[in-house]
Amino acid sequence: MRFIGLDPSTKTGFVALDESGQTLRAKELTGVGKKDPKRMITLIDEVVAHIQKDDFIVIEGFGFASQQAIQSGGIGWGIRMALARNQMKYFEVAPNALKKFVNVTGWIGEPGNKKRLKGKEKKDAVMDAVKEHFGFEHTSDNVADAYVMAQIAKSIATRKVATAYQKEVVEGILNPQPMKKKKKARAPK
């Protein structure tokens, strides 16, 4: 069995780990050419070509604040549909759960003087945390995210985690809590 992590985007991160957690493959997939839909189609085909029948797959969920939301959504849904067409099951993990798995909160500084991490700062914080937690380094933040997804896949399959925050992420994936409904505001009388 291999543990697969996918970070779907215009540059899709792909990581495959073996049963002991050794990296078998870590790469960024881009498809062919620069024009869509050909690039998107070949990217989705490339992702599926890297996956084997018995792989345990975890894919990063959709980010709501993406600069390329339509394009990334198309790629993300294309990958999900291709996996489903090939009867390949997968777990979906929210972007915030990925960060939590490596203890990145999105903030730096001391209480009362905190600063929100944005863009490249947040990506760098995740890459640093991946190196700190697992000793894994890559030049692509997409591959670093895919590596965390592969580690989450391994943790789900084996039910083994190293920290309380990782356990909380795995439990949240396996036993999701229903979202609380917001109360409607009443109009003043």
pLDDT digits (tens, 9 = 90+) for 84-118: 999 999 999 999 999 999 999 888 888 888 888 88
DSSP β-ladder status, 3-7 and 56-60: parallel
Q: Are residues 28 and 11 in contact, defined by beta-carbon separation less than 8 angstroms?
A: yes
pLDDT at residue 140 is higher than 80: yes
CATH of 3-109+116-174, one of 2.30.110.10, 3.90.480.20, 3.10.20.30, 3.30.420.10: 3.30.420.10
Q: Which residue has the tokens 């890297």?
A: 50
pTM of the model: 0.90
pLDDT digits (tens, 9 = 90+) for 12-51: 999 999 999 999 999 999 999 999 899 999 999 999 999 9
Distances in whole angstroms, Cα of residue 134 to Cα of each of 98, 147, 162: 14, 9, 11
Q: Which residue has the tokens 């777990």?
A: 91
In percent, the amount of the chain with pLDDT more than 90 equals: 76
